[in-house]
Amino acid sequence: MKLRIITTAAIIAAIGFLAPHPVLSQPATDGGRKPGFWQPEAQVDNTRNITLRLLNETGLNLEYGQSGVSLSSLPVGTQKNVIVRVSNRTGDLANIPINVKGGSTTLKYDYSVDRQKNTVTIRITTSDGRTRQDRAVYIDEKGRIYSF
């Protein structure tokens, strides 16, 4: 009797682990928009170079980086352009962290896209802590842009 209970529990646990689970960083499967950080903030053409225009409107000194490159400074009230190349190969992505230099102030990114120039303007402001808190711009292999 005890063996039967243990076997049943093991089978139920195995089914729970093997059942497919949705991935949080992907858009809704039905094509609709559902609230949450997993929704893309913008879309770009990943067959061309992407220009990210970072606008520091925080009143604080920021730093930003690119995968495999050291951090660069983004002083108060300035803007910098970052050129990103993402192909459509699975796993080809870009991750650009943007943080307050030497601090822990939370940030918020607002996006606008110029589709003709394939330019994304990212207006960086401070967050009140109750709204979303952005730490990095993430571009996947389909050209979808997320804030994490």
Q: How confident is the model at residue 24 (pLDDT cuts 50, 70, 90)?
A: very low
pLDDT of 93: 81
What gap in Å lies between CA 40 and CA 148, rounded to an integer? 10
pLDDT in tens, 119-129: 999 999 988 76
pTM across the whole model: 0.72
Residue 19 lies in a domain: no
Q: How confident is the model at residue 135 (pLDDT cuts 50, 70, 90)?
A: confident
Residue 15 lies in a domain: no
Residue 68 lies in a domain: yes
Residue 11 lies in a domain: no
Length of the chain measured in residues: 148
Q: Looking at 57-114, which runs of residues are DSSP E strands?
A: 62-64, 72-74, 79-84, 94-100, 107-114
Cβ-contact 33, 42 below 8 angstroms: no
What gap in Å lies between CA 116 and CA 43, rounded to an integer? 12
Range of the domain at 49: 27-147
Cβ-contact 136, 68 below 8 angstroms: no
Residue 138 lies in a domain: yes
Domain count, the chain: 1
pLDDT of 44: 92
Residue 114's CATH number: 2.60.40.780
Residue 119 lies in a domain: yes
Q: Please, is 84 exposed, middle or buried when counting C-beta atoms within 10 Å of its C-beta (0-12, 13-18, 19+)? A: buried
Among residues 88, 87, 84, 89, the alpha carbon closest in space to that of 136 is found at: 84
